Amino acid sequence: MRILDSVRKKIARILLGSLGAGFCVAVAACNNSLGGFGGFVGNTAPVPPSTGFKVLGNVGTQFTLTISNANSSWLVPGTIPLNVWIVNNQTPVRMIATKLANDNSLMSLEIDNGGVILNLQSTTAPYGVVSVQTGGTLATLAPQAIPDLRIYVNGPLGQRFQALVEDKTVGFVTNTRAPAVFLFDGPNGTVDGQFQQTQNFGVFSLAMTSGVGGTSVIATASGGPFVIIKEP
């Protein structure tokens, strides 16, 4: 989709005003400590650096998002802005968002790696649809993730934080902003998340969910500047 200059300028203003660039690194999590993280679940082996996905635009605009990698797919309802991270990701990845507003508000999908934008597409059409992908071409959406385990960092809005999300074999670290959702693809054993604020915009609000679309809340946590949430 070709983006007009006026839309590009609007995107740039929103990018500067809402979400910063995130980055991912691989870690061996067993008995290690990174940026205040410690006491991890166990023997987590290094994984390749991952790519971040963002839904940007006019703050508060509602959308539905379908995101699929080579193994699994997820349905993510939400409001702009939202950072999306897939733990244990396998490319290619395709992301499709539908705007749930009958107006000309801006909705953009962005894929970036370490602050480098890999793909950016936008729409201002009423009920507009946008699609982006990375890591190759995903011709068919993968089956719904089973189990569908997620961690939502719901706020504070714009709060920058470091996160460690892991199971028994995979550890994933990123630096990002709230609101954010972590989708765990094929977790092995129980999952936990550790979150460290790097700014102080207020207390964290976290939820761990299961079920299609993140419909069943199985754990919550709040506080700061450091919070842990664990799968029961």
How many residues are recorded in the chain?
A: 232
Per-run averaged pLDDT (10 residues), the chain, 232 residues: 46 41 37 40 52 96 98 97 96 98 98 91 99 95 97 96 96 95 97 96 97 92 97 96
* Whether the predicted model's global pTM rises above the 0.85 cut: no
So what's the pLDDT on residue 2?
43
Which range of residues forms the domain containing residue 82?
5-230
Alpha helices in 70-131 (DSSP H): none
Q: Which of the 8 DSSP states describes residue 169?
A: S
Token couple for 129? 């649809």
Q: What's the domain count of the chain? A: 1
Alpha helices in the chain (DSSP H): 5-17
Q: Are strands 82-87 and 180-184 parallel, antiparallel or unpaired?
A: parallel
Q: What's the CA dihedral at 140, 80, 232, 170 to 10 degrees?
A: 50
Q: Which of the 8 DSSP states describes residue 15?
A: H
So what's the pLDDT on residue 207?
98
So what's the pLDDT on residue 115?
83
| Cis peptide bond upstream of 77, omega within 30 | no
Query: CA quadruple 157, 158, 164, 167: dihedral positive or negative?
Result: positive
